[in-house]
Amino acid sequence: MIVPAGNYLVLAAALFIVGLVGVLIRRNLIVMFMCIELMLNSVNLTFVTFSRINGSLDGQILSFFVIAVAAAEVTVGLALIVNLFRLKASIDADEARSLRQ
């Protein structure tokens, strides 16, 4: 059974929308990072889908770069969240705004 490419694109759009809503609504920084990762994975799914449609490996190679950038982003972001928690004892996004003085 072959799954049509449109199904993958609909799934990627739904994942991206869920991630976007999560970033816009939630104030917890860890949940926001998880939603950003969800959006990046939906973009990876789109890249791989279009790569399959066009019959080339360009989208799959680009998705590996996105995964590498996402890993670096999580490393730096979690370090910042840990430092914010040590300083303010909270991981609320509004607490990060109070660091600007």
Pairwise CA distance, residues 17 & 56, whole Å: 27
pLDDT at 101 (0 to 100): 60
pLDDT band of 27, cuts 50, 70, 90: confident
Who has greater pLDDT, 95 or 46? 46
Pairwise CA distance, residues 32 & 59, whole Å: 26
Q: Could you report the per-residue pLDDT of 2-22, keeping only the tens digit for each?
A: 889 899 999 999 999 999 999
CATH number, domain with residue 33: 1.10.287.3510
Task: Judge whether 19 lies within some domain.
Answer: no
Single-letter amino acid, residue 74: V
Q: Can you give the pTM of this predicted structure?
A: 0.84
The number of folded domains in the chain is 1
Residue 92 — φ and ψ, nearest 5°?
-80, 140
Task: Judge whether 17 lies within some domain.
Answer: no
pLDDT band of 29, cuts 50, 70, 90: confident
**Domain enclosing residue 59, as ranges:** 26-94
Residue 99 — φ and ψ, nearest 5°?
-75, -20
Task: Judge whether 41 lies within some domain.
Answer: yes
Q: Could you report the per-residue pLDDT of 42-71, keeping only the tens digit for each?
A: 999 999 999 999 989 998 999 999 999 999
Three-state SS for 90? coil
Task: Judge whether 15 lies within some domain.
Answer: no
